[in-house]
C-alpha cells in the first residue's frame, strides 16, 4: 500500500530525472489510483531503475510490471542468500517460512512462521540482509 504523499514524491522525482514538465495533478492522481495497492518500496525501486535509463515516462502498467519483477528478483536473491548461510536464521522453520502447527502427520496444518515479518522487511529493504559467506 502506497500513500499519496509518498507516491507523489517519487512521481515528481521521476519526472524531474526524465526532464519532463510536471504533469497535471490529475495525472498523479490517476497513477496513484492505479498503483496504490503495491508496496511503496517496490514502486520506489522501479522508479529508481526508470530514472537510470533515458526513456519516456512509464505507463502505470510498465511501472507495475517492473515493480513486480523487482519483487520477484529480490525474493530469489534473498532465497539464494539464505541458502548460503552456514545455518538458518530461523531455527524454528529453517528459513522455509512455514511451520507445521498441531495435527498428526495425516492432518498436518501449516502456518506462517513468526520470522515472516522479518523476511518481508528484508525484501522491502527495511532491514539488512544477512551476509552470505563468500567462497
* Positions in the binding site for Zn ion (CB under 5 A): 90, 92-93, 113, 115
| Residue 62 to residues 5, 17, 34, 88, Cα–Cα distance (Å) | 21, 17, 11, 36
43/82 with CB nearer Zn ion: 82
> How far apart are the C-alpha atoms of 128 and 120, rounded to whole Å?
11
Pick 23 or 94: Cβ nearer Zn ion: 94
Q: How far is the CB of 81 from Zn ion (least distance, A)?
A: 15
For residue 54, the SS3 value is coil
**What's the min distance (Å) between Cβ of 34 and Zn ion?**
34
Minimum CB separation from Zn ion for residue 113, in Å?
3
Query: With the CA atoms of 118, 120, 124 and 129 taken in that order, what torsion angle do they form, in degrees rounded to the nearest 10?
Result: 50
DSSP 81-117: HHHTSSS-S-TTTTTSSEEE-SS-GGG--EEE-TTHH
Looking at beta carbons only, is 12 or 100 nearer to Zn ion? 100
Output the nine-digit C-alpha cell for 28: 498523479
Toward Zn ion, which CB reaches closer, 67 or 93? 93
* Least spacing, CB of residue 72 vs Zn ion, in Å: 21
Amino acid at each position: 500500500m502506497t500513500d499519496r504523499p509518498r507516491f507523489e514524491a517519487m512521481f515528481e522525482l521521476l519526472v524531474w530525472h526524465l526532464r519532463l514538465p510536471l504533469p497535471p495533478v490529475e495525472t498523479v492522481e490517476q497513477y496513484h489510483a492505479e498503483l496504490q495497492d503495491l508496496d511503496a518500496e517496490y514502486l520506489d525501486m522501479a522508479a529508481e531503475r526508470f530514472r537510470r535509463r533515458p526513456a519516456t515516462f512509464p505507463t502505470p502498467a510498465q511501472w507495475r510490471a517492473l515493480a513486480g519483477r523487482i519483487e520477484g528478483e529480490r525474493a530469489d536473491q534473498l532465497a539464494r542468500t539464505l541458502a548460503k548461510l552456514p545455518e538458518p536464521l530461523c531455527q524454528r522453520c529453517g528459513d522455509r517460512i512455514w511451520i507445521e502447527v498441531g495435527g498428526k502427520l495425516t492432518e498436518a496444518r501449516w502456518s506462517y512462521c513468526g520470522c515472516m515479518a522479518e523476511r518481508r522487511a528484508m525484501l522491502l529493504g527495511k532491514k539488512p540482509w544477512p551476509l552470505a559467506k563468500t567462497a
